[in-house]
Amino acid sequence: MPLLLLAACITLPAAALDTARLDPATRANDDLFRAANGAWLAATAIPAERSEVYGADLPASVNARVRAIVDGLRAHPQAPGSIERKLVDFHPGPGNSR
């Protein structure tokens, strides 16, 4: 396995390693996570109501897209038992949460 890792490190172009997120003050032997992500950790604030953050706010964008689809379906009557009606029934309406 170490040989495979060494081969990958040698063959990867320098641009494949994002050095902007590294923390040069932390030795990888002491704290690998902080050494690899230290600059990002220092520059990124995690809001109190969130337990995690992403480079792109994927959960929020997915929720917004699902909400737009369901709101579009809710605007028109759907046949009972149809997939569209099940989606509308499953997802809470405006002002409601599960």
Angle value at C-alpha 92, between 86 and 96, nearest 5 degrees: 165
Whether 70 is covered by a domain: the verdict is yes
Say which residue, 15 or 30, is predicted with more confidence: 30
Q: Which residue has the tokens 């959960």?
A: 59
* Tally of domains in the chain: 2
* pLDDT of 20 higher than 90: no
Task: Report the alpha-carbon distance of residue 40 to residue 6 in Å, rounded.
Answer: 26
C-beta atoms surrounding 23 within 10 Å: 18
Q: Is 22:35 a contact under the CB 8 Å cutoff?
A: yes
What percentage of the chain carries pLDDT values higher than 90?
29
Model confidence over 40-70: pLDDT tens digits? Answer: 888 888 888 877 777 667 778 888 999 999 9
Say which residue, 57 or 98, is predicted with more confidence: 57
Tell me how far the alpha carbon of residue 67 is from its chain's centroid.
18
Flag whether the pTM goes above 0.95.
no
Angle value at C-alpha 35, between 31 and 37, nearest 5 degrees: 115
Whether 9 is covered by a domain: the verdict is no
Whether 78 is covered by a domain: the verdict is yes
Q: Do 21 and 46 reside in the same domain of the chain?
A: yes
The boundaries of the domain holding residue 84 are 58-90
